[in-house]
Amino acid sequence: MNMVTLTETFSTIRNVKVLVVGDLILDEYTKGDVDRVSPEAPVPILLVSQIFCLLGGAGNVACNLQALGADVCIVGRVGDDVDGGRLENLLHDNFLSTDGIFVQKDFKTPLKNRFIAAGQQLIRADYEKNTPISEKIEEKLKDFISKEISNYDIIAISDYGKGCISTNIMQYIINEANKYRILVVVDPKGKDITKYSGAFLLKPNQKEAYYATSSESCTPINDVADKIINQLNISYLLITRSKDGMILFDKDGFNENFEVKIKDVLDVTGAGDTVLAMLVFCLANGFTISNAIKLANISASIAIESLGCAIVKLSEVAKSLIDIDPLNKIVGDDNDFFVLKKAIDDNKVAVLYLEEQEELSNDIFCLIKDLDREKGDAKLIIHVDQKKCGTKIVNLLASMREVDFIVTSKEIEKFINHFSPIKVSRISKCLS
């Protein structure tokens, strides 16, 4: 399976607008140390050193989309309680508007408190009561969505089964989206999946897919997928399978496997949100469904290497693509400087100019290694003329761990001058 390249990933990216609708959850983290067992019961005593909150559920999807560069509008409900206020404050802190957030008085804002010591989750305490969305709040959501929907490129539905995504709301969104030819991508929950009929893509995990179809664990996954696709009028079904990757099915019977490469699994919290965010971001940018899933897979592998709900940036995706194939370091087209900017993020850069070289001497290798030690946190960019130096030399430089990017375009000066957010250290060398 061919991997999407770095240039393919970023060169077509534009400013997209995403409407996120779903269950809002307050994720609380209580961190500390454990050095003894309670004398009252055989349980560890957590000496608390830090308590903080993050946005979970649809809020985490919105934050991930924002980190990718999308303009996001979030729609949902909170309860008339302290946790609802804390959640709205977090939205403000993350520069997300609360215009689409409505308060339901008889609803308890969902709170998940994770108790953590030495990077490990000891226990999770959930404070919630699944309350159906009231007719009043349902109408407010519909009114807000009807006024805003035409302004957005794609819609992400984050259904955590807390009651916000009712059948009425779901079908209303799909019907309105179809009027404007806007794709609807759903992360579903629960037994009744008929409410998602008409969506563009449904993304259950394997357990949810089997539960929704009342299938035995021994049932082939292709049969489970057929049941869902035949029951719903959807274009694609993407079943996520944790360490086993993902499988894409379509209504014509086609399926494709997507493997995932994971280094260390620290915490799977919010990985599904990260996948949903990257999927809708890529689809809104016109990526093929296959490339969108490959990048979502990479994003998920990054997310589960962090504790808690991770926010994955494009620069992290770029690094992963480079780890997969060092040739992704090579930026040749003048139009691809956007690629470089996204990949470098806000780091400083050091630029090494190599003149015409027929071969790489030991002096050049030593120089590069010296620069790697001297440049600190800066990214090392080597500028070469590929026509004069040759493809072999360019590829060899790209294979070096110390080299972050190779630029073969003559327009590098324009790029450096344009890169005002980054302090550029220019290093010019001419080696015979």
414: pLDDT confidence band, cut at 50, 70 and 90?
low
| pLDDT given at position 346 | 65
Contact 159, 181 (CB under 8 A): no
17 - beta bridge partners? 71
**Mean pLDDT of the 190-199 span:** 94
Which among 83, 159, 273, 404 is annotated as catalytic? 273
422: pLDDT confidence band, cut at 50, 70 and 90?
very low
Contact 224, 218 (CB under 8 A): no
| pLDDT given at position 64 | 94
pLDDT at 226 over 50: yes
Who's near 171: CB < 8 A, 6+ residues apart?
195, 197, 198
Half-sphere exposure of 279 (CA within 13 A, CB side): 32
| pLDDT given at position 34 | 96
| pLDDT given at position 370 | 80
Q: Work out the percent of the chain whose per-residue pLDDT is above 90.
A: 57
Q: Strand, coil or helix: what is 184?
A: strand
The more confidently predicted of residues 405 and 74 is: 74
Taking only the tens place, the pLDDT of each residue in 110-130 is 999 999 999 889 999 999 998
Contact 229, 193 (CB under 8 A): no
| pLDDT given at position 269 | 61
Who's near 91: CB < 8 A, 6+ residues apart?
55, 59, 74, 97, 98, 101
| For the chain, the helix, strand and coil percentages under 3-state DSSP, each to the nearest 5 | 40, 25, 35
Half-sphere exposure of 217 (CA within 13 A, CB side): 1
Nearest to 291 by CA among 12, 90, 105: 12
209: pLDDT confidence band, cut at 50, 70 and 90?
very high
Contact 343, 10 (CB under 8 A): yes
Contact 398, 326 (CB under 8 A): yes
| pLDDT given at position 264 | 54
Taking the C-alpha atoms of residue 292 and residue 68, their distance in angstroms, rounded to an integer, is 13
| pLDDT given at position 420 | 40
7: pLDDT confidence band, cut at 50, 70 and 90?
low
| pLDDT given at position 355 | 64
Taking only the tens place, the pLDDT of each residue in 309-327 is 578 888 788 878 877 778 8
Domains of the chain by residue range: 6-324, 328-428
Architecture of domain 6-324: 3-Layer(aba) Sandwich (3.40)
Contact 234, 196 (CB under 8 A): yes
Q: Strand, coil or helix: what is 386?
A: helix
| pLDDT given at position 431 | 41
Strands 424-428 and 349-353: what pairing? parallel
pLDDT at 202 over 60: yes
pLDDT at 337 over 90: no
Question: What crossing angle do the helices spanning 82-93 and 58-68 adopt, rounded to 10°?
Answer: 10
Nearest to 278 by CA among 329, 325, 238, 317: 317
The angle formed by the CA atoms of residues 392, 395 and 398, to the nearest 5 degrees, is 150
Residue bearing tokens 């953590």: 116
Taking the C-alpha atoms of residue 170 and residue 186, their distance in angstroms, rounded to an integer, is 10
In degrees to the nearest 10, what's the CA dihedral of 84, 86, 92, 96?
-50
Taking the C-alpha atoms of residue 81 and residue 105, their distance in angstroms, rounded to an integer, is 8
280: pLDDT confidence band, cut at 50, 70 and 90?
very high
**Mean pLDDT of the 247-258 span:** 91
Strands 349-353 and 379-383: what pairing? parallel
- Which CATH number describes the domain made up of 328-428? 3.40.50
**Mean pLDDT of the 297-303 span:** 84
Who's near 25: CB < 8 A, 6+ residues apart?
55, 56, 57, 58, 59, 60, 110, 111, 112, 160, 162
Taking only the tens place, the pLDDT of each residue in 162-185 is 999 999 999 999 999 999 999 999
Distance between terminal CA atoms of the chain?
42
- DSSP category for residue 162: S
| Mean pLDDT across the chain | 86
Q: Work out the percent of the chain whose per-residue pLDDT is above 70.
A: 85
- DSSP category for residue 205: B
335: pLDDT confidence band, cut at 50, 70 and 90?
low
Q: Is 273 considered catalytic here?
A: yes
| pLDDT given at position 300 | 83
The more confidently predicted of residues 87 and 345 is: 87
| pLDDT given at position 309 | 58
In degrees to the nearest 10, what's the CA dihedral of 13, 14, 19, 20?
30
- DSSP category for residue 3: P
